[in-house]
Amino acid sequence: MIPIRDTIQSKNYPVVNNIIIAANVLLYLVQLTQGDRLNHFFITYGLVPARYSVPQIAAYFTSGQQVLSFFSFMFIHGGFWHLLGNMWSLYIFGDNVEDRLGPLRYLLFYLLCGFLSGVSHLFINWHSQVPTIGASGAIAGVMGAYLLLFPRAKVLTLIPIFFIPYFVNIPAYLFLGFWFLLQFISAAGSSGQAGGVAWWAHIGGFVFGMIFVKLFLKIPELGVTRLARRITSKKKTHRLQSIKVIGNADDPHLYGSIIITPREAQLGTRKVVNIPWGFQKRLFHVTVPPGVSEGTKLRLADMGKKIDDRNRGDLYLRIRIGE
């Protein structure tokens, strides 16, 4: 299962989330310049439990290096696909959590989840000499927060079946719950870092994310957060939208709605739409002309239910305008 995007439209641009993604990419580019010193780079900036449990090893590192590795490990990755998988998950789930918490609280939340995921891994693998690297623990915290904040959201998921892309909207509580179950099964059936994967860091990050998101929501927003929300307010909705349609048994037409912003209603826009209907999952482009208003209906000819071998009904999309 490959998550494509969620169905929750964030109201603001995720500035901090994008900065975190950029920082991870930048550090990955730094890794590529290390050459033969890459292993030394991982040992220095990765989280190595033996650095804290074995005095003879700890003596090689300064106090500053020991503290730094609890944060630096979450910004370096073992390879391109490791980086891509983590950053894609952060891109999908992080914007909505930042939207709810605000940029300052989200930044602190992210770093704290990453730190505590490292602590979880440290105590489970107390004498391990294998460097733990990657943002997975911090991102697991974001996913845990998302589960509590948006349990009824849908995750548009790509499931390739015999090389045919099949798009399915999976409820967030099922998608994330299944992901957590896989982490727990993998951790229980391994030594904690089998195959180089720090399963207990994932579990710890996820659990701490669920705990801390509730605590962080009780912290009052600062004036700078309210100012940031005004500055980063979005002017466009997602380019890819998954639309639920309805239709009567004796009606060949289908009916749904598409969400756009006031600016898009004024200037016009173009969206990629996914329509789940029966066993069909269709992707197509919808052009919204400029000057539409709330309740305007767009008619897409021959995009409805099949009538016979030559004819199909139409699809009617009602315009909904929101911020």
The model's pTM is: 0.77
Predicted confidence at residue 195, as pLDDT, reads 44
- Among 35, 287, 277, 18, CA closest to 167: 277
Separation CA 108–CA 62 (nearest Å): 25
Separation CA 268–CA 317 (nearest Å): 15
For residue 273, how many other CB atoms are within 10 A of its CB?
20
Cα→Cα distances 250→247, 254, 284, 305, 313, Å: 8, 11, 25, 10, 11
Predicted confidence at residue 119, as pLDDT, reads 92
Which helix (H) or strand (E) segment holds residue 300: the answer is strand 297-300
Give the chain's domains with CATH numbers: 2-231 (1.20.1540.10), 240-321 (2.60.260.20)
Q: How far from the centroid of its chain's Cα atoms is residue 157's Cα?
A: 12
Q: Which two tokens mark 11?
A: 């109201």
What letter does residue 307 receive in the DSSP assignment? -
- Among 140, 261, 250, 263, CA closest to 197: 140
Separation CA 102–CA 226 (nearest Å): 8
In DSSP notation, 183-206 reads: HHHHHHTSSSSGGG--HHHHHHHH
- Among 84, 61, 57, CA closest to 72: 61
What pairs with residue 166 in β-bridges? 159
Q: Which two tokens mark 150?
A: 């948006």
Predicted confidence at residue 263, as pLDDT, reads 83
Full pLDDT tens readout for the chain, 323 residues:
788 888 887 888 899 999 999 999 999 999 999 999 999 999 999 999 999 999 999 999 999 999 999 999 999 998 999 999 999 999 999 999 999 999 999 999 999 999 999 998 898 888 888 899 999 999 999 999 999 999 989 888 888 777 777 778 889 999 999 998 988 887 776 654 544 567 888 999 999 999 999 999 988 877 777 777 777 777 677 777 778 788 888 888 889 888 888 888 888 998 888 776 654 566 778 899 999 999 999 998 888 888 888 888 888 999 988 75
Instruction: Say if residues 45 and 76 touch (Cβ distance below 8 Å).
Output: yes
Rg (CA), the chain: 23
Instruction: Say if residues 273 and 287 touch (Cβ distance below 8 Å).
Output: no
Predicted confidence at residue 279, as pLDDT, reads 47
Predicted confidence at residue 228, as pLDDT, reads 77
Predicted confidence at residue 127, as pLDDT, reads 87
